[in-house]
Amino acid sequence: MRKFKTESKKLLDLMINSIYTNREIFLRELISNASDAVDKLYFRSLTDPDVAVGRDDLAITVGYDSEVRTVTVSDNGIGMTKDELDRNLGTIAHSDSFEFKAAQAEAAAESEPGEAKGLGDLTDVDIIGQFGVGFYSAFMVGKKVRVVSRAIGSDEAWAWESNGVDGYDIKPAERAEHGTDVIVYLKDDTDEESFGTFATEHGLIQLIKRYSNYVRYPIKMEVTKSRKVEAPEPAEGEQPSAPTWESYTEVETINSMIPIWKRKKSEVSQEEYNEFYKTDFHDFEDPARTISVHAEGSLNYDALMFVPSRAPWDMYSKDYQRGLALYSANVLIMDKCEELLPDYFGFVRGVVDSSDLTLNISRETLQHNGQLRAIARRLEKKIKADLASMRDDDREAYERFFEQFGRTLKFGIYQSYGMAKDTLADLLLFYSAKQQKMVTLDEYLADAPTGSDAIFYAAGDSRERLASMPLVTTVLAKGYDVLLCDADVDEFCMMAMGTYGEHAVDGDDENKQPYFIKNVGAEDLGLTTEEEKKEAEEATESNAELFAAMGEALQGKVERVVVSTRLTDAPAVVTSEGGVSLAMVQVLKSQPGADDLPDLHLVLEVNAKHPVFATLQAAHEAGDDGKVRTYAGLLFDQALLVEGIMPDNPLAFAQAVAELMK
Ligand code: ADP
Ligand code: MG
């Protein structure tokens, strides 16, 4: 028996038992080797006139025997001589395929432009092998592996056989044609593991489709089918007999071969893209957008991405896993590679394929995440550009998209503390109270009165209620628009943005300032004249005693009571100081496990022109403290009610109203 040509048996043991997390990938590795062998033969046929093979004749065959418990992967590729069997399968971590690929690349680099013509297109060869360890993964599931191979141009075949422990034998064998069979004798089943499932039709088909669906040569397998047996015509007067079924077998190509993402966009119909999306990403609906990218340069890759029409049901749950499928040379590396997508584009589905990636040895992850990050950055730009063009060119579709995924975009701004603002802010839509439709921030600004320096919004849980809130109607009355934010994430997003765009101050292009994004309930909206401010301050001053009494009645609820500069019809309004709004606290309260709520600093603003104010003044002058107290409470509670917030003590509120009605 020959010994494996690595110093230690431990290395082999390590290869077999430690580098892979997933036993089922052995099939992917054997099929990849078969694909390489076929690729090499095809390449040889381009250069060697003695080797005549048509590309259409090249194939990989997978078979199994559930009795003997074997899985066989065969190819009609280049095959191996006795020496090659010894060298390639006897030396761990020696990859002949890698050397082949390197030699091709060198030849291509050295050849003069016209010279390589006879070789056909070199990119037609897509070698997968790299590390020289994939083959040994067969020993994860096999107690014995037998390889029968006949090299092209040779008339002898050889069989290599090993139990994967201490060595291997090479003996003469028979094989009708060039090519290789790898026969894996499966391990015995244990309580934990059933290796036998690998020797089933269903098990193998699943694995082929999962990992090797886009290998470029047909992977054939004999599959069982059933058909109806035509019953003979019944004789006169006889009942026709029930039809019977018989099963038969047929060789089928299991993989779909053509990686659609490698084809030029102009050569693929939208129907084909839709079909691919629906089948591979399990959706019933066509995608809303299809984004195809072919990058050549320092990093070569192809990507095909889709924006679904509808958010998947688990999109907003913890379990939702974002990511794009990652392929290297048509072989699946990872189902969902998270690093390829930022959270806020997590709804995008698709694949990325690159032969340039340096994979780690198990082909399960990458060695250098720098490559991945570079790809991710470019894909992010592509997605952004695509969404922006949908926003500009197909507004209806964009609004449908935004209904499904707008929350993710808004959440992205909030979650990144505004860092993602540059990418996302101009993609956002909000409902405009003035225009009564969804608008972008740019559209809001385009419509704003000249000299505007702010974007106003109101936040609460219902658009209708917001529209009728005094804080909103007074701003609208002054000719400014208000964005009505009724989603829980809205205000957090607005706060995280803080500002948007910029404008010249007093027509001076050298002096630019951003537009501030302001809640209509904030202290200073910048909409009152100095005169109005002064007037209100004086009125607050001259009613200091009354306001002190009201403030006392509302102790713990408001910081102070003042005369409002902003109200026209409503008697009073509650505003907040210091950036935390009532609506925000409402949202936080509704979150599970919210006990650490931020401090609210509320101010009761009263309308000095409202008859209620005169009533309060009269009560105060008459020394009717009880009435001042009750009215202060009522004003505060009804101001909250208008914003859709329940008073702390609804019963007291109702009793006070009933008392008034007596
Ligand atoms: P890799 O594919 O990364 O090179 P493997 O351990 O999978 O490493 O295979 C080692 C070598 O064995 C390959 O480089 C190739 O030369 C040879 N080999 C494996 N399977 C086949 C096959 N089916 N036909 C021809 N050569 C093969
Ligand atoms: Mg391999």
Query: How far is the centre of ligand 1, averaged over its atoms, from the C-alpha of 82 (Å)?
Result: 14
How much is the pLDDT for 645? 86
Q: HSE (CB half, 13 Å, CA atoms) of 233?
A: 2
**What value does the mean pLDDT take over residues 423-450?**
96
Please spell the DSSP secondary structure of 466-528, one letter per residue. HHH-HHHHHHHHTT--EEEE-STTHHHHHHHH-EEEEEEETTEEEEEEEEEEEETTSS--S-S
Mean pLDDT of 95-117: 69
Q: What is the pLDDT of residue 203?
A: 95
- pLDDT exceeds 60 at position 323: yes
* Atom of ligand 1 minimally distant from the CA of 34: 23
- For residue 40, which atom of ligand 1 is closest to its CA? 25
Give start and end residues of each alpha helix (H) in 48-128.
82-84, 90, 96-110
Split at pLDDT 50, 70, 90, the class of 204 is: very high
Q: What's the 29 CA to ligand 1 centre distance in angstroms? A: 9
Average pLDDT of the segment spanning 552-559:
92
Ligand showing the shortest atom-to-Cα distance for residue 136: 1
Other Cβ atoms closer than 10 A to 412: 23
Residue to mutate, 83, 96, 331, ligand 1, most ligand atoms under 8 Å from C-beta: 96
**Measuring from atom 10 of ligand 1, which residue has the nearest CA?**
132
Q: Are 497 and 444 in contact (CB under 8 A)?
A: no
Mean pLDDT comparison of 19-23, 346-350, 578-582, 594-598, highest-scoring range: 346-350
Nearest to 634 by CA among 606, 597, 598, 601: 606
Ligand 1, closest atom to CA 128? 2
Give me ligand 2 centre to Cα 85, in Å.
14
**pLDDT, tens digit, for every residue of 267-282?**
899 999 999 999 889 8
* Most confident range, picked from 193-202, 239-248, 563-572: 193-202
Q: Are 4 and 166 in contact (CB under 8 A)?
A: yes
117 has a pLDDT exceeding 90: no
Output the residue whose Cα is nearest ligand 1's atom 2. 129
pLDDT for 120: 37
The rounded Å distance from CA 337 to ligand 2 centre is 22
Q: How far is the CA of 136 from the centre of ligand 2 (A)?
A: 9
- Binding-site positions for ATP: 29, 33, 75, 80, 88, 130-135, 180, 363
H helices, E strands: number in the chain:
21, 23
pLDDT at residue 118 greater than cutoff 60: no
**Which ligand has an atom closest to residue 147 CA?**
1
Of 236-240, 286-290, 419-423, 462-466, the poorest mean pLDDT is in: 236-240
Cα 129 to ligand 1 centre (Å): 7
Cα–ligand 1 centroid distance for 88 (angstroms): 6
Q: Which atom of ligand 1 is nearest to the CA of 33?
A: 20
| Beta strands 244-253 and 289-295, pairing class | unpaired
In a mutational test of the pocket of ligand 1, which residue from 41, 97, 158, 170 has the highest number of ligand atoms less than 8 Å from its CB?
Answer: 97
Residue 559 in this model has a pLDDT that exceeds 50? yes
* Nearest atom of ligand 1 to the alpha carbon of 32: 2
Q: Indicate the pLDDT class of residue 133, thresholds 50, 70 and 90.
A: confident
| Ligand 1, atom 18, residue with closest C-alpha | 33
Q: What whole-number distance in Å separates Cα of residue 595 and Cα of residue 584?
A: 14
179: left (phi over 0), alpha (psi -120 to 50) or beta: left
> In one letter, which amino acid is 634?
L
Which SS3 state, helix, strand or coil, does residue 319 take? coil
Q: Please tell me the predicted confidence (pLDDT) of residue 401.
A: 98
Q: What atom of ligand 1 comes closest to residue 77's alpha carbon?
A: 24
Residue with CA nearest ligand 1 atom 21? 33
| Mean pLDDT of the residues in the chain | 89
Higher pLDDT, 123 or 576: 576
Q: How many A from CA of 33 to the centre of ligand 2?
A: 5
Buried b (16+ CB within 10 A) or exposed e, 540-564: beebeebbebbbebbeebbebbbbb
Q: Of all atoms in ligand 1, which is nearest to the CA of residue 75?
A: 23
Higher per-residue confidence, 607 vs 584: 607
Q: For residue 111, what pLDDT is reported?
A: 64
Q: What is the pLDDT of residues 292-313, one digit of tens each?
A: 999 998 889 999 999 999 998 8
pLDDT at 126 over 80: no
Distance 33 CA to ligand 1 centre (A): 5
Token pair belonging to 367:
């060695």
Token digits for 452? 């505007």
Nearest ligand to the CA of 72 is: 1
Q: What is the pLDDT, as a whole number, of residue 119?
A: 38
Most ligand 1 atoms within 8 A of CB, residue of 36, 43, 363 to mutate: 36
**DSSP characters over 207-242:** HHHHHHTT-SS-EEEEEEEEEEEPPPPPPTTPPPPP
Which of 135, 170, 177 has most ligand 1 atoms within 8 Å of CB, for mutation?
Answer: 135
And the tokens for 411? 């959440």
Q: Could you give the percent of the chain with pLDDT greater than 70?
A: 95
CA 146 to CA 495: how far, in whole Å? 66
Could you tell me the pTM of the whole model? 0.79
Q: Span 112-117, mean pLDDT?
A: 46
Instruction: Dump pLDDT digits (tens) for 477-496.
Output: 999 999 999 999 999 999 99
Which tokens sit at 74? 């065969």
Q: What are the pocket residues of ligand 1 if the criterion is a CB atom closer than 6 Å to any ligand atom? A: 29, 33-34, 37, 75, 77-78, 80, 88-89, 95-98, 129-135, 180
| Banded model confidence at residue 114, pLDDT cuts 50, 70, 90 | very low
HSE-CB for 463 with a 13 A CA cutoff:
11
Q: How far is the CA of 180 from the centre of ligand 2 (A)?
A: 14
- Pick the residue whose CA is nearest to atom 23 on ligand 1: 34
Which residues neighbour ligand 2 (ion) by CB within 5 Å?
33, 129, 134
φ, ψ of residue 309 in degrees (nearest 5): -75, -30
d(CA 335, CA 332): 7
**578 phi-psi bin (left φ>0, alpha ψ -120 to 50, beta other):** left
Cβ–Cβ under 8 Å, residues 457 and 483: yes
**DSSP-based three-state secondary structure for 18:** helix
Residue 233 pLDDT level (bands cut at 50, 70, 90): confident
Task: Provide the pLDDT confidence category of residue 592 given band limits of 50, 70 and 90.
Answer: confident
**Per-residue confidence band for 124, with pLDDT thresholds at 50, 70 and 90:** low
What interhelical angle do 650-661 and 625-642 show, nearest 10?
A: 120
Tell how far CA 318 is from the center of its chain: 13
Q: Which domains does the chain have, with CATH numbers?
A: 2-224 (3.30.565.10), 260-397 (3.30.230.80), 429-519 (3.40.50.11260), 530-660 (1.20.120.790)
What is the crossing angle of helices 625-642 and 544-553, to 10°? 70
Q: Whose CA is nearest to atom 17 of ligand 1?
A: 88
pLDDT tens, position by position, 445-459: 999 998 899 999 999
Give, using CA atoms, the residue closest to atom 19 of ligand 1. 33
